[in-house]
Structure 1
């Protein structure tokens, strides 16, 4: 089932999203603002990994970029294709696991808002809405894979913009990207109230030492990593 959701993309637009597809939230907004600061010339090749309903892909396409969007669920692929058509924007939308659909290709800019919520149990639940945010016991199930492989997708001088929660560790992300040869740094931070998922896992998060007893907010970060020329 498709439903209309409100999302201020800076262009007065809104998106259609089916149930189980990640809807834009604070992390999407923070990443969109980081995208706005990047020099994205007309014709630049942009990749949106884990596109969800396509908010970031459409934001890049509005800047004249040649955009490819990837997601592993059929629902997200359908939603992004539909939203691009409604916005009269061209976006190539591919289904697959992370970078698998674009192996061998190079991009000027890669943006990603992957699942990053620490999850009881090692493997995230499948075929449910939780697949859009659950990311293993430490929240790094996909983040570590992105850190290892992102450099293979970037042209010299290309940039990766990645958003995630500090709950799953900022230092491991920076270290992983730097080990792959990228120059990485935190450019943005934002404190946001716990949503329903984190509130429901409060006791488990406290038990693991990921949050304090009275903590009710998480820190989101944008990490910018550049491949040297």
Structure 2
């Protein structure tokens, strides 16, 4: 899908593609094409994942983003493609609290950052350990899943895959790593490589990271 992605809105990248592949397989294999299935995309950005779910036949798709620019971009992309999604403005699960979904997708900010995120950096930066948003998702998402509902979350291995698995399991979900891909550092990570080496997060000279899609299912 060709999507509008203005400055300040996270443009689909390798992590989006990796999560989209897992999401498409989940939508097809688990029968989410059936009437009544509901999908939630948290931190939708351009709307790429929400629009994929709508194209794959999900009955109802809700997308949430804290950025008004992202909300308007996702709505515009939906109109251009003739796909129906409900895009809401708000902070993570706040706009949908109390509702339950069959499938939740999220490509949250997970890049380790030495300084607080401001402006466009909020689309990628997530604090010194990269977990500012992921930990909130792990705490909030379990109560939003219906029975047999699934969360698919993509993150970098540099911000702790084991920690995410543990927190989701503590929330009562069955967890596993669904997909992996290794990619070279992009511009942001390349600029922070020396800092990451000082932290001991990456070995000297390493200029790549593993992306991981985590699948968590409610019984």
Quickly name the TM-score band, shorter chain normalised: over 0.9
Task: Find the residue that maps to 2:132 and give its secondary structure.
Answer: coil
Distance in 1, Cα, partners of 2:85 & 2:43: 14
Distance in 1, Cα, partners of 2:66 & 2:127: 17
Asked if 2 retains the 8 angstrom alpha-carbon contact of 1:111 and 1:161, the reply is yes
Distance in 2, Cα, partners of 1:125 & 1:224: 27
Deviation by residue 1:176-196 (Cα, 9 ceiling, x = unmatched): 000000001101110000000
Q: Counterpart in 2 of 1:152?
A: 143
Q: Counterpart in 1 of 2:88?
A: 94
Q: Counterpart in 1 of 2:153?
A: 162
Moved over 6 A (4+): none
Q: Counterpart in 2 of 1:172?
A: 163
Task: Find the residue that maps to 1:158 and give its secondary structure.
Answer: strand
Q: Structure 1 length normalisation: TM-score?
A: 0.91
Out of 23, 38, 51, which is 1:58 matched to? 51
Q: Counterpart in 2 of 1:80?
A: 74
Deviation by residue 1:22-78 (Cα, 9 ceiling, x = unmatched): 000000000000011112224310000000001000000011211000000000000
Corresponding position: 1:118 with 2:106: no
Asked if 2 retains the 8 angstrom alpha-carbon contact of 1:116 and 1:168, the reply is yes
Task: Find the residue that maps to 1:16 and give its secondary structure.
Answer: coil
Q: Which runs of 5+ in 1 are unaligned?
A: 1-12
Q: How many residues are aligned here?
A: 213
Task: Find the residue that maps to 1:48 and give its secondary structure.
Answer: strand
Asked if 2 retains the 8 angstrom alpha-carbon contact of 1:42 and 1:63, the reply is no
Q: Counterpart in 2 of 1:190?
A: 181
Task: Find the residue that maps to 1:15 and give its secondary structure.
Answer: coil
Q: Counterpart in 2 of 1:20?
A: 8
Distance in 2, Cα, partners of 1:16 & 1:158: 30
Distance in 2, Cα, partners of 1:148 & 1:42: 29
Deviates more, 1:153-162 or 1:39-48: 39-48
Deviation by residue 1:148-197 (Cα, 9 ceiling, x = unmatched): 11111100000000000000001000000000000011011100000000
Distance in 1, Cα, partners of 2:40 & 2:217: 14
Deviation by residue 1:92-132 (Cα, 9 ceiling, x = unmatched): 000000000000000000000000000003xx322x21110
**Whose helix fraction is larger, Structure 1's or Structure 2's?**
2
Task: Find the residue that maps to 2:178 and give its secondary structure.
Answer: strand
Task: Find the residue that maps to 1:211 and give its secondary structure.
Answer: coil
